[in-house]
Amino acid sequence: MNINLKRLLRRNETVLLIAIIVFSLIIGSRSTEFFTVANLFDILRSSFVQLIFALGVLIVIVSGGIDVSFPIVGIFAGYAAVVIMQKFELNGESLLIPIILAIVIGVLLGGVNAIAIAGFGIPTLIATLGTAGVFRGIMLSFVGASFISDIPIALDAFSTADLIKYESESGFLVRLHVLVIPVAIITILVHLLLTRTIFGRSVYALGGGVEATRRLGISVKRTQTKIYLLVGGLSGLAGILYVSLQRKANPYDLAGSELDVIAAVVLGGASIMGGYGTVFGTVLGVLFINMIKNNLILLGVSSSWQRAAVGVLLVIGITIQAISENRRNKARRASTEAEG
């Protein structure tokens, strides 16, 4: 029991959960607005898109890679879907058409990443930095560079589709968006995919060691291809949902938001060296980042410090991870020396 507790405390998810509780108490003691249902729902609403991106990034990071092209893939897919809807005058009342369009575009762009990474073995950071530039350049020069405010009716209406909506005693409008259900389902699906399927196990194996994976008889290229196609699809979905929630399609959006998402995944305990990471940790990471970002003002800090706050959290997070990793290595070395 004692050992179990120790092991539980060492897990990143536990540390993060404690951090969330501590920060909630600090912010809550400073401001009464924090512990309200409205605030909770706001944090959830701002987390939806990020969480879907983060699930994709988690898969890539677990496999030992890194992807910096996903926000561009997302906004490309979302923006292009809206442009296609308008150009071909597709039925604007259907919610499914733009979503499927965006996912297909996302998968196609993911395919480009897959060719570069699985086909040619280019280091993932360099490949995705390059494709991000290509995608953004192509979108802004050929798909369009102007802001679209009259997005299809269904997408526009979807932004206010609330599951729960009532007025609180203090007069605040409390709203919980419908998206909470599909996002929860996707999260659970990704969790099952990573833990209960051969594909999921090969993703972890790949992160543990490429050569070892190959010798296990798992096709590295095929696994990587599937990973980047899947991430492309998830990014496309996140992109169109972003467009819908914002009620506008702005091709300049999302660029630069990759850091927040990567920060959330890393804070959630995923190891950038690959081979370790959980969906639960990622969910906590996303909630934590959004909780801090949304409530800096309640702490009396101006919102221009948001980015610095993410940076500080990230530096602290990776430092803790690195220290515990170093200690584990030292312990392993000591035990082998004792045996020898």
Between 136 and 191, name the residue whose CB sits nearer to another protein. Answer: 136
Q: Does 25 bind another protein (CB under 8 A)?
A: no
Q: Check binding of 273 to another protein (CB under 8 A).
A: yes
Question: Per-residue contact track with another protein, 136 to 175, x per CB under 8 A?
Answer: xxxxxx---x------------------------------
182 near another protein, rule: CB under 8 A? no
User: Does position 131 bind another protein by CB under 8 A?
Assistant: yes
Place of tokens 């058409």: 97
In single-letter form, the type of residue at position 158 comes to F
Q: Considering the rule CB under 8 A, would residue 300 count as an interface residue with another protein? A: no
- Helix or strand (DSSP H, E) at 165: strand 162-167
Nearest approach, Cβ of residue 167 and another protein (Å):
35
Alpha-carbon distance 199 to 148, whole Å? Answer: 39
CB of 276 to another protein, least distance (A): 13
Quote the least distance from Cβ 267 to another protein, whole Å.
10
Residues 6+ apart with CB under 8 A from 2: none
35's tokens = 């512990």
Selected from 126, 189, 216, 331, the binder of another protein by CB under 8 A is 126
Buried b (16+ CB within 10 A) or exposed e, 108-137: bbbebbbebbbeeebebeebbebbbeebbe
Q: Is 116 in the site for another protein (CB under 8 A)?
A: yes
Indicate the pairing of strand 162-167 with strand 173-177: antiparallel
Binding to another protein (CB under 8 A) within 301-330 occurs at 302, 304-312, 314-315, 318-319, 321-323, 325-326
Nearer to another protein, 26 or 145 (CB): 145
Work out which of 73, 127, 186, 206 binds another protein, going by CB under 8 A: 127
Burial of 301 (0-12, 13-18, 19+ CB in 10 A): middle
Q: Are 59 and 231 in contact (CB under 8 A)?
A: yes
Q: By CB under 8 A, is residue 108 in contact with another protein?
A: no
293 binds another protein (CB under 8 A): no
Q: What is the CA radius of gyration of the chain?
A: 21
Q: Which of residues 241-270 bind another protein (CB under 8 A)?
A: 256, 259, 262-263, 266
In whole angstroms, how far apart are CA 233 and each of 15, 169, 186, 224, 249?
31, 42, 12, 14, 18
Residue 8 CB, shortest distance to another protein, in Å, is 24
Q: Distance between CA 242 and CA 261 in Å, rounded?
A: 14
- Decide: helix, strand or coil at residue 174: strand
Size of the site for another protein (CB under 8 A): 49
Which spans of this chain sit near another protein (rule: CB under 8 A)? 66, 116, 120-123, 125-127, 129-141, 145, 256, 259, 262-263, 266, 272-273, 302, 304-312, 314-315, 318-319, 321-323, 325-326
